Amino acid sequence: MKLTVMSRDKTQFIDITSEIQNKLQNQGIDSGLCFIFVPHTTAAITINENADPSVKSDMLNVLNKVIPWELDYEHLEGNSPAHVKSSIVGVSEVIAVENGKLALGTWQGVYFCEFDGPRTRHVNIKFIKD
């Protein structure tokens, strides 16, 4: 199944935890695994704190400083930093499902990471029942 994500900024972390949880509830799975995959070369997926919004802005600030837009990149499309960020952060996550819920830690959330927006993107989600 797919989740559509619409970013509004060039780089952005979008919390998609509740959308994934809603899709899980519709499946009626009590125990299993949730596979999340981003089929884009300039986007990623990560799990991190979702209680304090400054965490995602701090993460974006560090990524943008470590991998700046203004370097002597050879890729003609001009989005090499987005490709590098995608590879470093990663395009997939696996989360256990317990008692019909994503088995995330108290402060954890699932983030779609936009590195070349704004765009309409897709996230592939697959649930495996125990």
Provide CB contacts within 8 A for 10, sequence distance 6+: 114, 115, 116, 117, 118
pTM of the model: 0.95
Query: Which domains does the chain show, CATH number per domain?
Result: 2-129 (2.60.120.460)
pLDDT in tens, 45-93: 999 999 998 999 999 999 999 999 988 999 988 899 999 999 999 999 9
Structure tokens given for 112: 């779609």
